[in-house]
A and B are shown apart, each in its own frame.
Chain A
Amino acid sequence: MAKIDLIVRRANLNGKDVDVFVSKGKIVEVKPSAESLDAGDAKVEEAYGLTLLPSLTDVHVHLREPGFEYKEDVESGLRAAAWGGFSNIMCMANTKPVNDNGSVTELMLDKARKHWPKGPRLFPIGALTKGLKGEELAPMAELAQAGCAAFSNDGVPVESTKIFRLAVEYASDWDRVVIDHCEDPYLGVGVGVNEGEVSSRLGLPGQPDVAEALQVARDILLAEYLDLPIHLAHISCRKSADLIRFAKARGVKVTAETTPHYLTMTEAVLEAEGTEYDTAAKVNPPLRPEDDRLAMIEALSDGTIDCLATDHAPHAGHEKETEFDVAPCGISGLDTALSVTWGLVRDGVLTRETFLRAWTTAPCAVFNLPVNTFAPGDPADFFLFDEDEEWTVSASTLHSKGKNTPLLGSVLKGRVKTHFIAGKKIV
């Protein structure tokens, strides 16, 4: 048997007290906690009273470096990820310059290695088209070689169906999945608020749910026709979920994600007393009505939506403290995702199995990342967290530079105490 170099003692794994034995960054054994233990010269981490969960994977974050380091940079984004329970994060290409060439990818990876050599692991996502312009294909071979794990024009939907088709085909040559930001560019003009009752009362131009669903339908038909996978980002409405369910029943290779905010928040926040026109809740796609929120929970639970992702979109305070029309879209999500979604498990809204699939096995399977099932031989990526610790979301408790979340000021339950990646303590 391999020499044990780390033992986590008496951690709560799914209701049972366990000891976890780690060697060379891999899980060797997980067994019921023993009364006494000869640890030899292994490090021992006492975890009594703490819950053990495999590390999470977030396939959709915006790190803002290069170009917008005042909003977030690789170092601060990975810090938020580390404290948020994430061992893997995938970062979008809408930086400045855009991640549409290998040197930008390498710069991101260099920064990650320099600041967080033991992880969390960063997987950049390359642009689908040069400059995200939707006109010419990005050099995907070069990007894949430099370390891009997927391709996406997230933030700027590809208007031309022809270019999008070519991008999906070309990406498949490099075994990379394309992620689409589903938004019909003609119907998606009003941003940050759903078109409907609330937008009518607030007098804001809204984005209708069909702007998303139309593009979802396009992608489904294309994926079926090409017999190639397409991953649908940040799904927010029932219409999209119904289409994806239909597609999966036909065997179409689409996969999809939704975010913690679509599971827990609705457009009502924009006209609630004290948070009227709250730009922290301005996000694209917008927060939808209650029926869509319920649809997201159903779709995640029945596997129609494969995984969760934060769509972590940090912005500087002054950018959000402005008129609703002027403020940028996005919610900072890495710090709060675990507490928010574990809260849904605690409340019986999501099962523990759904939670683990959505944050660990499914996203890794979609993007060919090492899957962590917490079985012997799997990477020793896990964190210990205090399920009962209450913490107030504030500028000082968020590790991300982005303090833009509608949860600011609210009290969440559950906090990461220690995080191991490949058997090494990172926080």
Chain B
Amino acid sequence: MKWLHKDLLDVSQLSKPEVMAIFETAGRFQELQERPVKKVPTLKGRSVVLFFAEPSTRTKTSFDVAGKRLSADTFSLAKSSSSLTKGESLKDTALTLQAMAPDAIVIRHWCSGAARFMADRLDCSVINAGDGRHAHPTQALLDSFTLHQEWGDVAGKTILILGDIAHSRVARSNVILLTRLGAKVRLCGPRTLLPPALKTWPVKVYSDLNEAVKGVDAVMCLRLQLERQKDGLLPDLREYSRTFGLGARHLELANPDVRIMHPGPMNRGVEISSELADSAGSLVLDQVASGVVVRMALLFLYMTRKGEE
């Protein structure tokens, strides 16, 4: 498949065949993971800048590993460690990065729309690794890829996304991607952590977790930012975990083969019980493994798009 997109800003840009092409490419890289030497020369001589204006060890490491396995040179630029970005405007950061002529930039930023801002100003591919509350396309792709690997197809399955939907770019991108792939999506969380105007979303919304989990094939827990309590969005963590934390008792109501997911890092005992996180149905570590191969597939497709027939 000839890859036509310059940037990956959100999953809404991708058609179903394109998502399948990403999955297929990721599947081929998966085989590489089992070899003793896990490296191919595909992107030798190409450079990827990892620009993380908001800290994220997991996503950054995942992209770093993905780039290195393809023999690309990866450079990190973290907001905290770099004089380049201290007090500098995002426009100047973009111009500085442009001058370094990388082949791709992976950006994580605390402002919604920041990835698009960069994409509009840079000639190289911009891959959104999370912008504000807006989108986290690579997380959504790796989540769907993980389920795709489990089930062969996510179409027709029912997936519950649980927790702080309002502030979650992971939830936003997953709703778009999972429905595009034919899954049914449910959301559950306290009203204070749900976005407004949900009636226009292709989802079913629940406030009772026991209702929400009935017959579902997978539950995606979201990380609860503990400061939400200080923002007044919930009374306390104990109450939250008792009403919206996923525990073993909920799974009796779900499909017997229910899968449990979490984008990490987990607050064990808050949004998910520890035993569930480690249970047989947990895909948490599969998600991490999928993250690397999906990101390899994305770097490959976006960085070789020019000249590929």
What is the 8 Å Cβ interface bit string for chain A, positions 258-297, against chain B (1 contact, 0 not)? 0000000000000000001100000000000000000000
Is there a chain B Cβ closer than 8 Å to A323's Cβ?
Answer: yes
Contacts of B135 in A (CB 8 A): 203
Is B112 close to A, CB under 8 A? yes
Q: Does B233 contact A (CB under 8 A)?
A: no
Contacting pair B111 A323 (CB below 8 A): yes
Contact across chains for B112 and A325 when beta carbons are under 8 A apart: yes
| B200 and A197 within 8 A (CB) | yes
Residues of A within 8 A of B111 (CB): 323-326
Question: Chain B residue with minimal CB distance to A317?
Answer: B91
- Pair B113/A324 contact, Cβ less than 8 Å: yes
List the A residue with the shortest CB-CB distance to B117. A323
- Inter-subunit contact A195/B113 (CB<8 Å): no
B contact residues around A200 at 8 Å (CB): 195-198, 200-201
A203-B134, A318-B89, A322-B91 in contact; A208/B112 too (CB < 8 A)?
no
Partner of B133, one of A204, A276, A277, A323: A204
| CB of B90 closer than 8 Å to a CB of A | yes
**Nearest A-chain residue to B168, judged by Cβ:** A203
- Expressed in whole angstroms, the Cα–Cα distance for A201 and B132 within the complex equals 12
Establish whether residues A322 and B198, one from each chain, have CB atoms under 8 Å apart when the complex forms: no
Q: How long is the Cα–Cα vector from A203 to B170 in the complex, in angstroms?
A: 11
Chain B residues with CB below 8 A from A124, complex form? none
| Number of chain B residues close to chain A: CB under 8 A | 24
Q: Cβ of A199: which chain B residues have Cβ within 8 Å of it?
A: 195-197
User: Does A206 reach chain B (CB closer than 8 Å)?
Assistant: yes
Most chain-A Cβ atoms within 10 A of its Cβ — which of B111, B169, B200?
B111
Asked whether A321 is an interface residue with its Cβ less than 8 Å from the other chain, the reply is: yes
Cβ contact of B196, chosen from A206, A318, A321, A322, cutoff 8 A: A206
Binary contact track A197-237/B, C-beta < 8 Å → 1, others 0 = 10111111110100000000000000000000000000000
Q: Does A196 contact B (CB under 8 A)?
A: yes
Q: Give the number of A-B contacts (CB < 8 Å).
A: 64
How would residues 158 to 202 of chain B score, 1 for a CB under 8 Å from any chain A CB and 0 otherwise?
000000000001001000000000000000000000011110110
CB distance from B88 to the nearest CB of A (A): 11
Are A195 and B112 in contact (CB-based, < 8 A)?
A: no
Cα-based distance from A326 to B135 in the complex (angstroms): 18
Cα separation A325 to B117 with both chains bound (whole Å): 12
Interface status of B114 (Cβ within 8 A of chain A):
yes
Contact B196 A324 (CB under 8 A): no
Q: Mark A147-172, 1 if CB is under 8 A from B, else 0.
A: 00000000000000000000000000
* Residue from B90, B113, B114, B133 whose CB has the most chain A CB atoms within 10 Å: B113
Tell me whether B223 is interfacial, beta carbon within 8 Å: no
Q: Which of B92-135 contact A (CB under 8 A)?
A: 109-114, 116-117, 131-135
CB-defined interface of A166-208 with B at 8 Å, one 1/0 digit per residue? 0000000000000000000000000000011101111111101
Assess whether B112 is in contact with A277, with CB atoms less than 8 Å apart. yes
Interfacial chain A residues near B116, Cβ < 8 Å: 276-277
B197 close to A323 (CB less than 8 A): no
Which residue of chain B lies nearest to A289 when distances are taken between CB atoms in the complex?
Answer: B197
Whether A203 touches B169, Cβ cut-off 8 Å, given contacts A323-B113, A323-B117, is: yes
Q: List 9 A-B contacts (CB under 8 A).
A: A197-B200, A204-B132, A204-B133, A321-B89, A323-B109, A323-B113, A323-B114, A325-B110, A326-B90
New A-B pairs, 5, CB < 8 Å, besides A200-B197, A322-B90: A200-B195, A200-B200, A202-B112, A321-B89, A323-B114
Instruction: Sort A-B residue pairs by CB-CB distance and give the 4 closest, nearest first.
Output: A203-B134, A277-B113, A203-B133, A323-B111
- Give the interface of B toward A (CB within 8 A): 89-91, 109-114, 116-117, 131-135, 169, 172, 195-198, 200-201
